[in-house]
Amino acid sequence: MKKIALLTAIALLLPVGVDAAKPVILKKHGYVVSEPQVTSQYYVKQIGTDLAWSKTRGASDIVVALIDSSADRNHTDLKNVPRVVNSMKGPYTADIHGTHTAGIMAGKHNRFGIAGLAPNVRYHFYNVFYGVNKDKTDSWTVANAVDTAVAKGANIINLSLGGDDYDSRLAASIKRARAKGVIIVASSGNDRKQTINFPANMKEVIAVGAIDSRHRLASFSNMDDRVKIVAPGVNILSLGVNNRFIYMDGTSMAAPMVTASLALVKSINPYLTPGEIDQLIAKMPRASGKSYTELNTMKLLEATARPIHISAPSVWKSRYVNDVKLSVMNHSNLTSSFTLYQGNKKIKTLTPNRSFTMYSSGDWLPSGQYRIVGQVTDGKHKRYTSRTIDYVNTLKTAVSVKVSEEGTFTIHTTRKGTVTVLDSNGKVLYEALHIAGTFPVRGDTAEKLTVILKPTDLREKVVTTSYEPPIIEEEPPVTETL
């Protein structure tokens, strides 16, 4: 049975422990991290995750599977992490390596210790090692964990492990996972070689190499042109067992940084396929002559296409709206909807990239603030977007009356409301609720009428008009001269 060596280095223990006449200074309101140990996590700023947290710290419907040794689930920084723990080999007993890699990704922002890079996603922790501080497992156990993680809904799998030998069973599990849309991230190895370990060397896997705080390749990091992304892996502070904090070196530390960043990407757009993630990484800027990019979480998020988008001006003055663009990413398994709201009241459903009118329930909508809400789903994940607009209805409430034929009047209203028709003595001849538009009313066209429109929209004034029958002048008698 092929053995897979754990990729890590030696851990070093760290003990716990206004003038009105002048303009004023204004600052951006970003996410503030209050973790006592975050200043020792140089990698947080180096990879731009501190800026990315203002956009997202992860979505709870994104699942990351950490296939490693057992994480210390009783560590204060892991205690309240949404998680499932699984042991594929023996008891789930806390181990340094699994605890450290888990902390890099999942450490809670709870003002206790460190700041995990993606604290709000859901984690599945899998133990695949034989016992505490053991550095080897077998590929079939890892394959079993991969299959289980996929079956339990993992979106991303982190493999901070590897070996020299290829195994078809583990390779098949990884290929099946990729085919089902699961992203696989693996560390390249710590053997100072110019070739990377299995399974990182598979084309279906995102291979991660290590750099230091000065952006130099780590001396121990295995590297070849299959490594498309690197992340800090030298002097990395994270969690140790028994509520401690430790520094570790290794590509094992770099891989979960990439995994956490991609978890934030998937939190924004969960419908991205592994191939699209590969393309996203490939488009990231690279240093001259380098075949790899350095991880930058913020740049990844900025380049991530939103699954649903609304483009609209902030103010509308037209009742016929044709300058709103509603778009959804082009994936066949996605369904979407767009809805216009006034406050919490649903006004109408909109069709993507089609003009619409501000006409609803028989009337032109009143001036005020409206909101378009878009939703997209694949049946598993839902994502929303919204746009608030101020609508200015320039159409005034008006009513007019004219004779269409003998004994019939035509009444036209611009707004919905109750129409009352009075005769010359003030007696009600007709009264009914009408939508905006034109309708006939029977009556004596030789008599004076008063027409009153009381709008349903109480913000509009009552308007009145009248009908005066035409004065028919008698022709003088014709006389003949004899």
At 181-209, the pLDDT tens digits run 999 999 999 999 999 999 999 999 999 99
User: pLDDT (tens digit, 9 = 90+) per residue, 120-145?
Assistant: 999 999 999 976 667 889 999 999 99
Report d(CA 169, CA 223) in Å as an integer. Answer: 25
Q: Is residue 7 over pLDDT 80?
A: no
Q: Which residues of 392-414 are buried (b: 16+ CB within 10 A; e: fewer)?
A: ebeeebebebebeeeeebebbbb
Of the candidates 305, 347, 351, 349, the residue with the CA atom closest to the CA atom of residue 326:
351
User: What six digits make up the tokens of 230?
Assistant: 């690197």
- Beta strand segments in 358-427, E: 359-360, 363-364, 368-377, 382-391, 399-405, 408-413, 417-422
User: pLDDT (tens digit, 9 = 90+) per residue, 38-53?
Assistant: 999 999 999 999 999 9
Of the candidates 135, 130, 121, the residue with the CA atom closest to the CA atom of residue 92:
130
Most distant CA pair in the chain: distance in Å? 140
User: Per-residue pLDDT averaged across 227-241, rounded?
Assistant: 98
Q: Is residue 3 over pLDDT 50?
A: no
Catalytic annotation, pick one of 72, 77, 97, 124: 97
| pLDDT score of 11 | 46
Note whether 57 and 305 are within 8 A (CB). Answer: no
pLDDT band at 288 (very low <50, low <70, confident <90, very high): confident
Q: Considering the chain, what is the average pLDDT of its residues?
A: 91
- Using DSSP, state whether 187 is helix, strand or coil: strand
Catalytic annotation, pick one of 50, 68, 138, 363: 68
Q: Which residues are bridge partners to 210 per DSSP?
A: 231
CA 57 to centroid of chain Cα atoms? 11
- Residue 323 phi, psi (nearest 5): -110, 25
Report d(CA 62, CA 267) in Å as an integer. Answer: 6
Domains and CATH numbers, the chain: 3-17+28-303 (3.40.50.200), 308-391 (2.60.40), 399-467 (2.60.40.3080)
- Beta strand segments in 99-177, E: 122-127, 136-138, 156-159, 161-162
Strands 308-311 and 63-68: unpaired
User: pLDDT (tens digit, 9 = 90+) per residue, 407-424?
Assistant: 999 999 999 999 999 999
Q: What is this structure's pTM?
A: 0.86
User: Per-residue pLDDT averaged across 225-230, rounded?
Assistant: 97
pLDDT-above-70 percentage for the chain: 91
Q: What is the DSSP string of 257-300?
A: HHHHHHHHHHHH-TT--HHHHHHHHHTS---TT-SSEE--HHHH
Range with the lowest mean pLDDT among 98-107, 231-240, 343-352? 343-352
Of the candidates 244, 310, 271, the residue with the CA atom closest to the CA atom of residue 112:
244
Is 68 part of the annotated catalytic residue set?
A: yes
Sheet holding 417-422, edge to edge: 428-434, 417-422, 449-455, 463-467
Strands 368-377 and 382-391: antiparallel
User: pLDDT (tens digit, 9 = 90+) per residue, 295-348?
Assistant: 999 999 999 999 999 999 999 999 999 889 999 999 989 999 999 999 999 999
Range with the lowest mean pLDDT among 67-71, 80-84, 299-303? 80-84
User: Per-residue pLDDT averaged across 370-391, rounded?
Assistant: 96
| pLDDT score of 297 | 98
Of the candidates 384, 331, 315, 321, the residue with the CA atom closest to the CA atom of residue 353:
321
pLDDT band at 287 (very low <50, low <70, confident <90, very high): confident
User: pLDDT (tens digit, 9 = 90+) per residue, 158-180?
Assistant: 999 999 999 999 999 999 999 99
Range with the lowest mean pLDDT among 34-48, 389-403, 462-476? 462-476
Note whether 182 and 202 are within 8 A (CB). Answer: no
pLDDT band at 105 (very low <50, low <70, confident <90, very high): very high
| pLDDT score of 4 | 56
* Helix axes 168-179 and 139-151, enclosed angle (nearest 10): 20
Of the candidates 459, 451, 406, the residue with the CA atom closest to the CA atom of residue 432:
451
| pLDDT score of 332 | 87
Is 252 part of the annotated catalytic residue set?
A: yes
Catalytic annotation, pick one of 160, 252, 261, 267: 252
Is 54 part of the annotated catalytic residue set?
A: no
